[in-house]
Amino acid sequence: MLHDPLTGLPGHALLLDRLEQSLIRARTRGTLVTLVLITSPDSLLDAARALRAGLRPDFTVARYGDAVLAVLAEHDFGDGSPISSLIRQLVGDSPQIHWVTSDGDAAPDDMIATAENR
C-alpha cells in the first residue's frame, strides 16, 4: 500500500522505496540517512499530525505498521540523536523511539532490523 488510508501518510511500501533511494543518495553524495521508528504512540493520528507539522518538509513521515510510525531523514553530518530528540518533543514520552543512521552502506532491510531491535 502506497498510502495509509487512516493517517494519509506514506505506507510501508512507499517508505521502503524512499529508504532505498535515500541510501543511494547517501552513497553518491556523502550524506547520511537516519531512520526513526516510533512504536505505540498514545494516539497514532495525533502523533502523525504532530510529526508532519513539526518536522522538516523533506523528512518522510510514514506509517510503518499497525502502531508504528517511521521518520526518514537525510542529513549532512552527525547521527540521529537530534532528530530523535525532536520527535520525542513532538510525540511525548510514552512511545518507544528507536533509530539508526547509515552512510548509505547498509541495506534497507538491515536498517529496519537494526532500528527494530534497538
Cell readout for 93 is 514520552
The pLDDT profile of the chain, 118 residues, written as one tens digit per residue, is 688 999 999 999 999 999 999 999 999 999 999 999 999 878 999 999 999 999 999 999 999 999 999 999 999 999 999 999 999 999 998 899 999 999 999 999 999 999 999 8
Average pLDDT score, the chain: 94
**The one-letter amino acid at 47:** A
Residue type, 7: T
HSE-CB at 80 with a 13 A cutoff on CA atoms is 24
State the Cα torsion 33-37-43-44 to the nearest 10°.
70
> Domain ranges in the chain?
12-116
- Fold observed for domain 12-116: Alpha-Beta Plaits (3.30.70)
Residue 93: predicted pLDDT = 86
